[in-house]
A and B are shown apart, each in its own frame.
Chain A
């Protein structure tokens, strides 16, 4: 390949992939424009650099609070998904009896159920639990976290299950002979070995829970509990659309995702691949 041809190709690929992200560019440049600039040419760079729309959007979406809610809900849900799924998967692999098989098959089979099939009865059941036991399942962060754990448990157990099967049992046996109990064996010996698959489980669940709109929209009614997708939805619904402000709001919602991507890019691409192929 000649020198020139090679650089032309390099340039084409880099430029082509940037062109693919042109919607992001359009969103970004128009978040700085005033109305007349925007309607004059949506593709042009902004003539002035004003953060006015960002400040308005942040205020109207109550972005700080929404970010906090999303963060708390995602982090706590993922924390429990990792702990509970890995523990369950380990037991299911090591105690290979009828019960373990039934539990595992049930978890896998229910992965086929779309959310729309469960959403209405789920709300009814949560309402019942609230009325009979007084546990606030609806309209609380805790209730939403509980439901996120339930919905994402199957895939996590499935991924851990596959990984644990490949770990030789001899390590655990010698520890148990030395008198360590199951909890110690699991946390001291097994859990550290699970690290690669734990990273995958974390990545897949962070993306899923952070972006989830429908479940939080059904569970949370209180304005102060809104997550970022919910705040975005109401932001677009409550006001007649001023595109520059709307674009500023969308840029805000994407910033955390981009930061996450920059820092965990390698893990994300690997995790997504592993989650899909299995």
Chain B
């Protein structure tokens, strides 16, 4: 077959996807970079004013942006701990020799299939009126009150819902890690008289490091990008106390009509996420070599 002919097949197979991908992802990304150097309210009749890097400089003094970045970090770290403790715990439970493990695995994973928006609405009822009613019933009003009206507890509520959704996901990753541990190693340790905790600490945990790395950074990246659950559970409130970065970018662009400034926030958001994800790849690769 001649060269010309090969080129035809190459284009036939790859071009449709490349065109769609370029139109949807690649070109908008560069247009977005361009917009971030302008001041514009999004109305096509109004002029776009070139402001250089002013949008980025203004970000440094933007208290609302700083606050949101801090809240996002706080949210992500709390979630990181809770998701992985639960995920690892569940994985250890469902890899035991019990018969009910399959059933438990199915149940633990279930919330992950429900979309973040729907989950947020389910829990909105629980943390607001259901908690209040339970508080009235049991008299335990120090725990059971409307969490979503409290600036601190609204954040905890968001952490709990996110963890509820993600724990089953991380469980799956940890299960794969646990199953890759050779059975003979565990058996011989048991014969040598190592108890459960010793086996966990000295064998299971070190061999789980690759799974741990993946889970930690997946949680980190999903946590930073949370939007749907944030919107349906708290809507950013009360008093912006749960307005995380993804939501703030949306509000800045489509709420306040600061298209250029909001886009600059979106670019910074990308840089933060890219840094996290690249660190993930780097660390994961490094561990793989060591293993």
Contact = CB atoms under 8 A, between A and B. Distances in A.
B121 A13 contact: no
Contact of A113 (B25, B115, B249): B25
B103 to A, nearest CB: 6
Nearest to A91: B13
Interface string A102-119: 010011001011111111
Interface stretch (B71-79, B92-100, B181-189, B195-203): B92-100
B269 interface: yes
A204 to B, nearest CB: 12
B112 A272 contact: yes
Interface residues of B, number: 83
Interface string B232-274: 1000000000000010011001100001001100110110011
A151 interface: yes
A236 interface: yes
Contact of A107 (B10, B21, B118, B137): B21
A163 interface: no
Contacts of B23: 125, 129, 146, 150
B53 interface: no
Contacts of A210: 115
B129 interface: yes
Contacts of A27: 122, 125
Interface string B80-112: 000000000000011010111101111111111
A125 B27 contact: yes
A192 interface: no
A23 B123 contact: yes
Contacts of B104: 13-14, 16-17
B133 interface: yes
Contact of B14 (A16, A88, A118): A88
A154 B96 CA distance: 37
Query: Which of the four size classes fits the interface of chain A?
Result: 35 or more
A87 B17 contact: yes
Given A112-B277, A120-B259, A146-B24, A253 B10 contact: no
Contacts of B173: 273, 276-277
B36 to A, nearest CB: 10
A121 B31 contact: yes
Which of B6, B9, B18, B24 counts the most A-chain CB atoms under 10 A from its CB? B24
A277 B270 contact: no
Contact of B10 (A91, A122, A146, A232): A91
Contacts of B169: 272, 276
A43 interface: yes
Contacts of B269: 114, 116-117
B35 A120 contact: yes
A20 interface: yes
Contact of B130 (A42, A110, A147, A151): A42
Interface in A37-94: 39, 41-43, 84-85, 87-88, 90-92
Contacts of A14: 100, 103-104
Nearest to A271: B172
B195 to A, nearest CB: 15
B31 A254 contact: no
B121 A236 contact: yes
Given A118-B32, A207-B113, 6 more contacts: A14-B103, A116-B249, A122-B24, A153-B21, A211-B117, A272-B112
Interface of B: 6, 9-10, 12-14, 16-18, 20-21, 23-29, 31-32, 35, 93-94, 96, 98-101, 103-118, 121-123, 125-126, 129-130, 133-134, 137, 164, 169, 172-173, 175-176, 214, 218, 225, 227-228, 231-232, 246, 249-250, 253-254, 259, 262-263, 266-267, 269-270, 273-274, 277-278
15 contacts: A14-B100, A21-B107, A24-B110, A84-B20, A110-B21, A118-B25, A120-B35, A121-B35, A124-B28, A146-B24, A183-B12, A211-B114, A213-B115, A236-B232, A269-B172
